[in-house]
C-alpha cells in the first residue's frame, strides 16, 4: 500500500471520529446546562446580609472559616447563634431578626494574661533564635527560668485582630479591655496557655501560672505566686481555691470585693480595671 493511500485511509477514520466526539461533547454540555437550570437551588439572600452585618475580621472565634462561612451556617441552621464575640449589639439584633430568633442577654468578655514577669523574670540562657513565642518555646521550653512564664516575643500582640493587646512599661503584653472583644485569638496564639477569657466585670486577676512550690517559684521569679493560700482563706465567697499550689479564681463566685488583693504578700493579684496599659507601643514596633 502506498504512503498516500495510507494517509487518506487514516484521515477518513480520524475526521469522522473527531466530529462524533465533538458532537457528544456538545450534547453532554447541553444536558448539564439543562440539569443545572432545572435542579438549581437559589442562594439564600440572608447569607449575604448577615455577612455584611458581621465584623468582617475573620478572627475564627465562631469556629467557622471566616464571617461568610459563619453566616452560611447560621442560615442553614448548622451553627449556634451568638458565637461571634466581636459582633456589635446592634448587629446581633439585626441578625437575630433575619433569623427569627430572640436575642439573649450577653455579657462582654475579655482576655486575661496570667503572668506579670516582664523585666523581673529571670532567664536561664540567651535565646538568639526566631523572635516568636512559638519558636522560643520549642527550644527547651524557652529561655525563661520560669517554665510557666510569658516569653514576651508578642505572638499575641501580632495575632490580635483588634489591636487590643499593648506592651506595657515592663515589656509585658497587656490587654486593653476597652478594645478587647474576647475573641480568643490570643488564647490560640500563646504557646504557654497564659490567656483566659472571662467576663469583663470580673476584673480580679491572679497574674501567675507557676504551680511549683513557693521556694522554687522564688528561684525563678521575684513576684510569682508562692502558694501561701492567704487569698483563699480570706475570700468570703470561696471564690479562690489552691490548685497544685497556685491560687485560682472561680469567676462565677467572685464579687470583686478586692480583699484578696490586700493580703497577697507578692502583690500578684491585680484588679484588671486598674491595670490598663500606661504606655503603648506602635503596631510597627510590636511586629519588629
Neighbours of 230 (CB within 10 A): 18
Grid coordinates representing 277 are 496599659
Q: What is the CATH number of domain 45-99?
A: 1.10.15.40
The residue extents of the domains of the chain are 45-99, 109-287
Cα separation, 247 vs 253, in Å, equals 14
Contact 217, 225 (CB under 8 A): yes
Cα separation, 92 vs 94, in Å, equals 5
CA nearest to 147, candidates 156, 139, 158:
139
Contact 165, 112 (CB under 8 A): no
Alpha helices in 108-202 (DSSP H): 133-137, 155-159, 185-189
Specify the residue for cell string 517559684.
217
Tell me the three state secondary structure of residue 270.
strand
Roughly how many angstroms between the first and final C-alpha of the chain, as a whole number?
A: 79
Contact 176, 273 (CB under 8 A): no
Task: Please provide residue 149's backbone torsions phi and psi, each rounded to the nearest 5 degrees.
Answer: -80, 165
Q: What is residue 118's predicted lDDT score, i.e. its pLDDT?
A: 75
Q: What is residue 96's predicted lDDT score, i.e. its pLDDT?
A: 86
Q: What is residue 170's predicted lDDT score, i.e. its pLDDT?
A: 86
Q: What is residue 284's predicted lDDT score, i.e. its pLDDT?
A: 41
From first to last of the 288 residues of the chain, give the pLDDT tens digit: 444 444 444 555 566 665 656 666 667 666 666 555 544 456 888 889 889 989 888 888 788 888 998 988 888 888 888 888 888 888 888 888 888 888 776 788 999 999 998 777 888 998 999 999 999 999 989 999 999 999 999 999 999 999 999 998 888 999 998 999 999 999 999 999 999 999 989 999 999 999 999 999 999 998 899 999 999 999 999 999 999 999 999 999 999 999 999 999 999 999 987 655 443 443 344 444
- CATH topology assigned to domain 109-287: Alpha-Beta Plaits (3.30.70)
Cα separation, 273 vs 110, in Å, equals 11
Cα separation, 163 vs 153, in Å, equals 16
Amino acid at each position: 500500500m502506498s504512503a498516500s493511500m495510507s494517509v487518506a485511509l487514516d484521515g477518513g477514520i480520524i475526521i469522522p471520529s473527531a466530529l462524533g466526539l465533538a458532537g457528544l461533547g456538545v450534547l453532554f454540555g447541553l444536558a448539564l446546562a439543562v440539569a443545572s437550570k432545572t435542579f438549581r437551588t437559589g442562594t439564600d439572600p440572608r447569607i449575604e446580609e448577615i455577612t455584611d452585618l458581621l465584623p468582617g475580621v475573620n478572627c475564627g472565634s465562631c469556629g467557622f472559616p471566616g464571617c461568610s462561612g459563619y453566616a452560611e451556617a447560621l442560615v442553614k441552621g448548622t451553627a449556634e447563634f451568638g458565637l461571634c464575640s466581636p459582633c456589635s449589639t446592634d448587629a446581633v439584633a439585626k441578625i437575630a431578626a433575619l433569623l427569627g430568633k430572640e436575642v439573649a442577654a450577653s455579657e462582654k468578655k475579655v482576655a486575661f494574661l496570667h503572668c506579670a514577669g516582664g523585666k523581673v523574670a529571670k532567664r536561664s540562657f540567651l535565646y538568639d533564635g526566631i523572635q516568636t513565642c512559638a519558636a522560643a518555646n520549642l527550644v527547651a521550653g524557652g529561655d525563661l527560668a520560669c517554665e510557666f512564664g510569658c516569653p514576651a516575643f508578642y505572638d499575641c500582640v501580632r495575632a490580635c485582630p483588634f489591636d487590643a493587646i499593648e506592651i506595657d512599661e515592663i515589656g509585658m503584653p497587656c490587654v486593653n479591655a476597652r478594645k478587647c472583644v474576647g475573641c480568643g485569638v490570643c488564647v490560640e496564639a500563646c504557646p504557654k496557655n497564659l490567656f483566659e477569657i472571662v467576663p469583663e466585670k470580673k476584673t480580679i486577676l491572679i497574674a501567675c501560672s507557676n504551680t511549683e512550690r513557693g521556694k522554687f517559684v522564688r528561684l525563678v521569679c521575684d513576684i510569682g505566686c508562692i502558694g501561701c493560700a492567704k487569698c483563699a482563706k480570706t475570700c468570703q465567697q470561696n471564690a479562690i481555691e489552691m490548685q497544685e499550689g497556685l491560687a485560682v479564681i472561680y469567676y462565677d463566685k467572685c464579687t470583686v470585693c478586692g480583699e484578696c488583693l490586700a493580703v497577697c504578700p507578692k502583690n500578684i493579684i491585680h484588679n484588671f480595671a486598674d491595670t490598663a496599659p500606661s504606655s503603648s507601643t506602635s503596631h510597627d514596633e510590636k511586629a519588629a
